[in-house]
Structure 1
Amino acid sequence: MNRAFLTLAATLLASLPTLSQRLHSPTNKLALSFQLGPTGEPTYQLSFGSKTVLKPSRLAVLVQGQPGFEKGLTVVKTDSAQADETWAPVWGEVKQIRNRYKELAVTLQQPGPEKRQLRVRFRLFDDGLGFRYEFPEQPNLKYFTVQDERTEFNLAADCKTFWIRGDYDTNEYLYATTKLSEVGPKNTPSTPEIGVQVPVAPNAVQTPLMLKSPDGLYINIHEAALVNYPAMSLLVDNARFDLTSQLTPDATGAKAYLQAPCHTPWRTVVVSDKAPEVLTSKLILNLNEPSKLQDVSWITPQKYVGVWWEMHVNRSSWDYAKVNNIKLNQTDWQALKPHGRHGANTANVKRYIDFAAKNGLQSVLVEGWNVGWEDWYGNWKEEVFDFVTPYPDFDVQELQRYAASKNVKLIMHHETSGSVTNYERRMPAAYQFMQDHGYDAVKTGYVGRIIPRGEHHDGQWMSNHFVRAAEQTAARRIMINMHESIRPTGLHRTYPNWLANEAARGNEFNAWSQGNPPEHETILPFTRLMGGPMDYTPGIFQIKLEHWNPTANKGRQVHTTLAKQLALYVTMYSPLQMAADLPEAYEQRPDAFQFIKDVPVDWDDTQVLEAEPGDYITTARKAKGKDEWYLGAITDEQARQSRVPLTFLTPGQKYVATVYADGKTADWEKNPMSYQIRRMTVDSKSVLKLQLAPGGGTAVSFKPTKAAGFR
Structure 2
Amino acid sequence: MKKLILCVMICLFGVGFSLAQTLTSPDGNLVMDFHLSADKTPVYSLKYKGKDVIKESKMGFQIRPSFDFSKNFRIVETKEDASDTTWNPVWGQNSVIRDNHKELFVALEQEGTGWLLNIRFRLFDDGLGFRYEFPVQKELRHFTINEEVTEFQLAGDHKAFWIPADYDTNEFQITTSKLSEVPQLIDKARDEALACKSPSPNLAVQTPLMLKSDDGLYINIHEAALVNYPAMHLNLDAQTFLMSSHLTPDKNGTKGYIQTGSTSPWRTIIVSDDARNILASNLIVNLNEPCKLEDTSWIKPTKYVGVWWEYFTGGGSTWAYTDTQDIVIGKTDYTKLKPNGHHGANTAHVKEYIDFAAKNGFDAVLVEGWNEGWEDNYAYAKEFIYSFTKAYPDFDVKELQRYAASKGVKIIMHHETTSSVADYERQMHDAFRFMKENGYDAVKTGYVGPIIPRSEHHDGQWMVNHYNRVAETAAQYHIMVNSHEAVRPTGMYRTYPNWIAQESARGTEFESFNGIRPDHQTILPFTRLMGGPMDYTPGIFEGDLSVYGSNKAKLGTTLVKQLALYVTMYSPLQMAADLYQNYEKYPDAFQFIKDVAVDWDNTYILEAEPGDYITIARKAKGKNEWYIGGITDENSREAVIDLSFLSTGKKYQATIYADGKTADWRTNPKEYVISTKKVTNKTKLKQRLAPSGGVAVSIKEL
Tell me which interval the TM-score lies in, with the shorter structure as reference length. Answer: over 0.9
1: CA distance, partners of 2:202 / 2:506:
20
For residues 568-589 of structure 1, the C-alpha deviation after alignment (integer angstroms, 9 at most, x for no partner) is: 0000000000000000000000
Question: Secondary structure of the residue that 1:221 maps to in structure 2?
Answer: strand
Answer whether contact 2:61 2:147 (CA < 8 A) is retained: yes
1: CA distance, partners of 2:321 / 2:450:
24
Answer whether contact 1:485 1:503 (CA < 8 A) is retained: yes
1: CA distance, partners of 2:449 / 2:180:
32
1:140 to partner: Cα distance: 1.2
Aligned residue in 1 for 2:658: 661
Give 1:251-266 correspondences, 5 Å limit: 251-266=251-266
Question: Secondary structure of the residue that 1:186 maps to in structure 2?
Answer: helix
Aligned residue in 1 for 2:628: 631
Give 1:195-594 correspondences, 5 Å limit: 195-315=195-315, 316-513=317-514, 515-549=515-549, 551=550, 553-554=551-552, 556-594=553-591
Answer whether contact 2:660 2:671 (CA < 8 A) is retained: yes
1:76 to partner: Cα distance: 0.8
1:376 to partner: Cα distance: 0.8
Aligned residue in 2 for 1:708: none
For residues 403-455 of structure 1, the C-alpha deviation after alignment (integer angstroms, 9 at most, x for no partner) is: 01111000000001101010000001100110111000000000000000020
2: CA distance, partners of 1:652 / 1:603:
23
Question: Secondary structure of the residue that 1:546 maps to in structure 2?
Answer: helix
1: CA distance, partners of 2:6 / 2:67:
34
Q: Does 1:620 align with 2:621?
A: no
For residues 62-116 of structure 1, the C-alpha deviation after alignment (integer angstroms, 9 at most, x for no partner) is: 222474321111111001111000000000000100000000011111112x521
Letter in 2 for 1:263: T
1: CA distance, partners of 2:425 / 2:339:
30
Q: Does 1:126 align with 2:158?
A: no
1:607 to partner: Cα distance: 0.4
1:147 to partner: Cα distance: 2.1
Answer whether contact 1:280 1:608 (CA < 8 A) is retained: yes
2: CA distance, partners of 1:2 / 1:282:
53
Number of residue equivalences: 700
1: CA distance, partners of 2:424 / 2:639:
49
Gaps of 5+ in 2: none
2: CA distance, partners of 1:66 / 1:137:
22
1:10 to partner: Cα distance: 5.3
2: CA distance, partners of 1:656 / 1:261:
57
For residues 143-181 of structure 1, the C-alpha deviation after alignment (integer angstroms, 9 at most, x for no partner) is: 222221010001111100000000000000001000111
For residues 614-656 of structure 1, the C-alpha deviation after alignment (integer angstroms, 9 at most, x for no partner) is: 0000000000001110000000000001222211111111111
2: CA distance, partners of 1:658 / 1:186:
43
1: CA distance, partners of 2:440 / 2:639:
44
Letter in 2 for 1:162: F
1: CA distance, partners of 2:8 / 2:81:
31
Answer whether contact 2:630 2:639 (CA < 8 A) is retained: no
Letter in 1 for 2:227: V
1:251 to partner: Cα distance: 2.9
Answer whether contact 1:185 1:202 (CA < 8 A) is retained: no
TM-score (norm. length: structure 1): 0.97
Aligned residue in 2 for 1:602: 599
Question: Secondary structure of the residue that 1:524 maps to in structure 2?
Answer: helix
1:547 to partner: Cα distance: 1.5
1: CA distance, partners of 2:130 / 2:381:
39
Of all paired residues, the percent bearing the same amino acid is: 58
1:379 to partner: Cα distance: 4.9
Answer whether contact 2:380 2:451 (CA < 8 A) is retained: no
Answer whether contact 2:314 2:545 (CA < 8 A) is retained: no
Question: Secondary structure of the residue that 1:508 maps to in structure 2?
Answer: helix
For residues 158-209 of structure 1, the C-alpha deviation after alignment (integer angstroms, 9 at most, x for no partner) is: 1000000000000000010001111125354354320211111352100000
For residues 337-392 of structure 1, the C-alpha deviation after alignment (integer angstroms, 9 at most, x for no partner) is: 11111100111000000000000000000000001111013553111012011111
Answer whether contact 1:533 1:573 (CA < 8 A) is retained: yes
2: CA distance, partners of 1:642 / 1:295:
42
2: CA distance, partners of 1:199 / 1:566:
35
Answer whether contact 1:25 1:124 (CA < 8 A) is retained: yes
Give 1:2-81 correspondences, 5 Å limit: 8-9=8-9, 11-65=11-65, 67-81=67-81
Letter in 2 for 1:240: T
For residues 223-244 of structure 1, the C-alpha deviation after alignment (integer angstroms, 9 at most, x for no partner) is: 0000000000000010001100
Distance 1:68 1:190, change over 3 A: closer
Letter in 2 for 1:155: L
Answer whether contact 1:208 1:530 (CA < 8 A) is retained: yes
Gaps of 5+ in 1: 706-711
Q: Does 1:180 align with 2:179?
A: yes
2: CA distance, partners of 1:267 / 1:480:
25
Question: Secondary structure of the residue that 1:540 maps to in structure 2?
Answer: coil
Answer whether contact 2:380 2:449 (CA < 8 A) is retained: no
For residues 635-679 of structure 1, the C-alpha deviation after alignment (integer angstroms, 9 at most, x for no partner) is: 000000122221111111111110011011000111111111111
Answer whether contact 1:18 1:38 (CA < 8 A) is retained: no
Pick which of 442-451 and 199-208 moved more.
199-208
2: CA distance, partners of 1:185 / 1:399:
54
Letter in 2 for 1:249: P
Aligned residue in 1 for 2:688: 691
Answer whether contact 1:646 1:683 (CA < 8 A) is retained: yes
2: CA distance, partners of 1:248 / 1:679:
52
Answer whether contact 2:164 2:190 (CA < 8 A) is retained: no
2: CA distance, partners of 1:653 / 1:547:
47
Letter in 1 for 2:686: K
2: CA distance, partners of 1:185 / 1:442:
41
1:330 to partner: Cα distance: 1.9
Letter in 1 for 2:518: P
Distance 1:510 1:191, change over 3 A: farther
Question: Secondary structure of the residue that 1:240 maps to in structure 2?
Answer: coil
Aligned residue in 1 for 2:91: 91
2: CA distance, partners of 1:202 / 1:653:
58
Pick which of 5-14 and 398-407 moved more.
5-14
Question: Secondary structure of the residue that 1:331 maps to in structure 2?
Answer: coil
2: CA distance, partners of 1:482 / 1:617:
26
Question: Secondary structure of the residue that 2:432 maps to in structure 1?
Answer: helix
Letter in 2 for 1:572: M
2: CA distance, partners of 1:357 / 1:185:
52
Letter in 2 for 1:212: K
Letter in 2 for 1:422: D
1:15 to partner: Cα distance: 3.3
2: CA distance, partners of 1:119 / 1:639:
51
Answer whether contact 1:442 1:479 (CA < 8 A) is retained: yes
Aligned residue in 2 for 1:709: none
Answer whether contact 2:364 2:410 (CA < 8 A) is retained: yes
Answer whether contact 1:185 1:203 (CA < 8 A) is retained: no
1:535 to partner: Cα distance: 0.1
